Structure 1
Amino acid sequence: MGDYHGELAGIDLHLWRGAYTIEGLRIVRRNAKAPPLLDAPRLDLSVKWRALLEGGIVANATFERPEINFVDGSLRDNGGGVDWRRQLESLMPFRLDEVRVRDGVVRFRNPASRPRVNIEATQFNGVVTHLTNVRGGGARPASLEATAKVLGSAPLEVKAAFDPYESLRDFRLDFKATGIDLTRANDFLQAYAKLDAESGSGDFVMQLDVRDGRITGYAKPLLRHVRIFNWKQDIVEQGDNPLRAAWEALAGGLQNLFKNPEADQFATRIEFSGRIGDAKTDAWTAIVAVLRNAFGEAFRPQFEQLPTRGPGDVE
């Protein structure tokens, strides 16, 4: 599998019902220190015998407590380095009518950033339908629906429609996270937006539409009761660089045109577009980058215009 190889601990066969249980499935990048791209303690497969007799595979699959790791920075690992479509084409024709994920974990890490970033989506439960390596299933025949908890307890919802044969160059993605405790996202915000959140919560909504590798979409952050820059905490206790502290204080002192003073909240909508690239470009790399950058860039303008406290303010 190109830059990756697969590992498994064992297989149990249940021939009487056409089922298999795979224990300890791992997909690992070769010669890398990054965690496995996929670590699935248990995968249950049920196969329809009639399809096998006709030279194809039709099955359902259930992953129990899988972990998926996306790594940014010098140890980047997000499924790149493999033409996954070609890998699927090399197999006999198959269709997965339903793939379920139960109690999974999805992590986004950057061990090279300062500070290091480790964001987790836990309690990940979802279902993917109509995965196939056969061309001609119609426009975006596969779908995904999933829920999770991100940054501790913030509800996350994801919906997608895509063409699996097109290696994710044709898909739509709806992403929503609500009730995010922004202080729990500080490592990410410091690494990618260069700002701290002293307090506050936020919602984040994003929609992506990709057709023939061209990305269009928008991100909508909604921030509530947010403050940045605490003189005592940032300068005295943490020993922040004074230039950085001055930047945060200046950013925090600007007025926001989208502010609702009665609700003490800020909202805006940020449009973006781009291209995944040619057919050889790794789609996963582009998609993860869009998600990461959209989150950071969507929140940055809001943080840059928030009220703040200075050294003379009362705690």
Structure 2
Amino acid sequence: MMHVPKKIWIPLAIALILVAVRLAMPYFVTKYVNKVLATLPGYTGSIEDVDIHLYRGAYQVQELRIFKVDGQKKIPFIYIPVLDLSIEWSALFDGAIVGEVEFERPELNFIGGGKGNQSGKDVDWTKPIKDLMPVDINRLTITNGKIAFYDFTTKPHVDLVMTEVNASAENLSNATDNEQVLPSTAHFTATSVGGGRLGVKMKMNVLKQIPDMDIDLKFEDVDLKALNDFFKAYAKIDVERGTFDLYTELAMLDGKIEGYVKPIIEDLKIVNWEKDKKRPLELVWESIVGFLAEIFTNQPKDRFATRVPLSGNINDVKTSAWPALWSIFSNAFIKAFEKNTEGTIRIEAVTDKDTVAPKSDKQLKKEKRKERRRQRKEERRKKKEESL
């Protein structure tokens, strides 16, 4: 019998054990992911496979689908072909061990009307992501996603879709120890039905129980005629032509909100006499709507617009009818609103100098880590001086 030296068989045994563990990991990770998805109240989820990438501290979840238990069986509420969860290596240079999450071609499908509606409310959707990621998430990206709203109970059916959804959020756990009030940034872009372009820029602090944020939103060049199924289903009108733009600035601090919403409609035409004369009731209603819109349209620019101010607490946002009505009148008869955000809303607009918001546990821990790093630097400096 041949004797194998220990210096050979011990490393060989360790290598075999590591290979066995590596081969078994996808099975156990798949089982764990399905267990997490099974805890969603009112929803059920599953995945097809898991790929492990040890060299970059990552794993990929393949073909994730989440359905509402008593909802639409053919259209999942969430569908993610590839979900990548990994360590954010760049954050290690800042002394933080955090993760990043990437969603590739995700779909989010809302369904309205009737018993089969699916809206995702009453579920904390951040919990399964946190459960799947063993460290704090610092970076999140979405590539080529899709957001849809369907209503199969109306006539005609409503089908509103946003495609080319791309988003990124950076420094969510403030791994860089940024001392600004809003240390995190996010960008969001998408293309809507009717060729509209949506762009959102945000600064935020998501470490607080109620996040602070500063939002700048532009939704431009939507062809209203492409939304006729929506208008026919809910407003009983038929748009012949027109474009829609929406501009919003919003700031929120400690649950207090200040901002505005500015919708603008240009070149609007609702009534088509030749097409609608066989439907007299619809024709009358469309004529009334068109007449009112025409009265309050700025004639030189053919622009109907208003500005609705928002103010109050997150649980009780107040809007006033008079400023909105005055804005309609002002746009029509005094000066047409500009198609852009105004740059008038900042986080300082809702700062209450007499109130100091309580710090979250994460903020306190980060402050302690920062203080410990400062002390270590100071100790190293003193030792260096003593050695000289």
Alignment TM-score > 0.5, same fold: yes
**Counterpart residue number, 1:26:** 65
**What pairs with 1:106-255 in structure 2 (closer than 5 Å)?**
106-132=147-173, 139-164=181-206, 170-211=212-253, 213=255, 216-236=258-278, 239=279, 242-254=280-292
Residue-by-residue CA offset, 1:50-109 (whole Å, 9 max, x unaligned): 999xxx962222221111123333333232121346667777863222211111111123
Identify which of 1, 7, 14 aligns with 2:46. Answer: 7
Identify which of 65, 70, 79 aligns with 1:39. Answer: 79
Give 1:257 shift: 6.2
Residue-by-residue CA offset, 1:12-39 (whole Å, 9 max, x unaligned): 1111221212111223322321632321
When the two chains are superposed, the root-mean-square deviation of aligned CA atoms in Å is 3.8
TM-score normalised over the length of structure 2: 0.60
SS of the aligned residue for 1:190 comes to: helix
Give 1:48 shift: 5.1
SS of the aligned residue for 2:171 comes to: strand
Amino acid at match of 1:81: D
Give distance in 1, aligned partners of 2:245 and 2:262.
8
Give distance in 2, aligned partners of 1:36 and 1:166.
31
Distance 1:115 1:231, change over 3 A: same
Q: How many residues align?
A: 277
Distance 1:154 1:274, change over 3 A: same
Give distance in 2, aligned partners of 1:167 and 1:7.
30
Give distance in 1, aligned partners of 2:189 and 2:249.
16
Residue-by-residue CA offset, 1:212-253 (whole Å, 9 max, x unaligned): 5555532222222210011222343xx4xx333212202212
Distance 1:160 1:85, change over 3 A: same
Amino acid at match of 1:66: P
Report if aligned partners of 1:42, 1:65 keep a CA contact under 8 Å in 2. yes
Give distance in 2, aligned partners of 1:213 and 1:94.
27
Structure 2 unaligned runs (5+)? Answer: 1-39, 333-388
Amino acid at match of 1:119: L
Distance 1:25 1:87, change over 3 A: closer
**Counterpart residue number, 2:32:** none
SS of the aligned residue for 2:245 comes to: strand
Q: Which has the larger radius of gyration?
A: 2
Give distance in 2, aligned partners of 1:50 and 1:182.
45
Report if aligned partners of 2:256, 2:312 keep a CA contact under 8 Å in 1. yes
Amino acid at match of 2:288: L
**Counterpart residue number, 2:306:** 268
Give 1:133 shift: 11
Report if aligned partners of 2:140, 2:168 keep a CA contact under 8 Å in 1. yes
Amino acid at match of 1:246: V
Paired-residue identity, % = 35
Give distance in 1, aligned partners of 2:88 and 2:294.
58
Residue-by-residue CA offset, 1:182-201 (whole Å, 9 max, x unaligned): 10122223344443311122
Give 1:114 shift: 4.0
**Counterpart residue number, 1:68:** 108
Give 1:255 shift: 6.1
Amino acid at match of 1:2: P
Amino acid at match of 1:181: D
Q: Does 1:94 align with 2:135?
A: yes
Deviates more, 1:190-199 or 1:120-129: 190-199
Deviates more, 1:70-79 or 1:196-205: 70-79
Report if aligned partners of 2:202, 2:216 keep a CA contact under 8 Å in 1. yes
Distance 1:87 1:166, change over 3 A: farther
Distance 1:139 1:79, change over 3 A: farther
Structure 1 unaligned runs (5+)? Answer: 279-285, 291-296, 306-315
Give 1:276 shift: 5.3
